Structure 1
Amino acid sequence: MPIIKHNPAALFPQYRCYSHATEIRGDSRLLIISGLNGYMADGVTMPESFEEQAEIIWGHIRTLLHSAGMDMSHLVSLRTYLADPKYDEANVRMRIKHLGAYEPSSTVVCCQLLDPKWKLEVEAMAAM
């Protein structure tokens, strides 16, 4: 199943670790991952820092992908909700750390999250 990135020159330059659109062709499986936050396995404990919460979330994403027989290269879309715009640069660093040069479609939204402890929440879609 080909996954094709669309970053036409007629659009503004793509951001780091990002594609404007991702096309999936052929028969495929689609995994839709609900918004994840930085809770540890006990469902109660959450570290204070943005970086620690983000590491936990990326671990959750990996675990869910693995449970579906997928890996990071199957991600086609990410939506990240940041509790504060000040976390943008740290968020980009985390994406680069976990995705390397891979560039799924992506949106980042700054908003008030459900719990004031949460620094970010991430939704994802993967296909194969």
Structure 2
Amino acid sequence: MPLIAHDPPELFPPYRGYVHAMEVAGGSRLLFISGLNAFQSDGTTMPESFEDQAQLIWSHIKTILNSAGLGIENLVSLRTYLADPAFDEANARIRAEQLGSHRVSSTVICCTLLEPTWKLEVEAVAAG
């Protein structure tokens, strides 16, 4: 499944593992992952720190990808909702650790999340 990054030279340079657009060649499966929070398997508890919540969400993403026979290399797009802009640097660092050299289209939005204990929520699209 070829992924084709589009970073036209007329636009600003991409940064932090970001790509302006990611094309998925025809004939691919698409997996849309709903916005995930950091609930543990009991569905009621979650870690308190931003870093622990982010790591758990990435674990959830990998579990869902694996259930579809996909991996991190199949991600094509991420949308991250942060409860506070102060979390941006930690979010970018953890995302880079999780993605390695793999690039995806990405948007980060700062907003009030549904529950005050949530520090972030992440949704994703994968193709395979």
> Counterparts of 1:1-128 in structure 2 under 5 Å?
1-128=1-128
Structure 2 gap segments, 5+ residues each: none
Q: TM-score, normalised by structure 2?
A: 0.98
For 1:51 and 1:39, locate their aligned partners in 2 and report how far apart those are by CA, in whole Å.
Answer: 14
Q: TM-score, normalised by structure 1?
A: 0.98
Give the total of aligned pairs.
128
- Is contact 1:38-1:53 (8 Å) kept? yes
Identity level (%) = 63
Query: How large is the Cα RMSD of the aligned pairs?
Result: 0.6
SS of the equivalent of 1:18 reads: coil
For 1:53 and 1:38, locate their aligned partners in 2 and report how far apart those are by CA, in whole Å.
Answer: 5
Runs of 4+ in 1 over 3 A off after TM superposition: none
Structure 1 gap segments, 5+ residues each: none
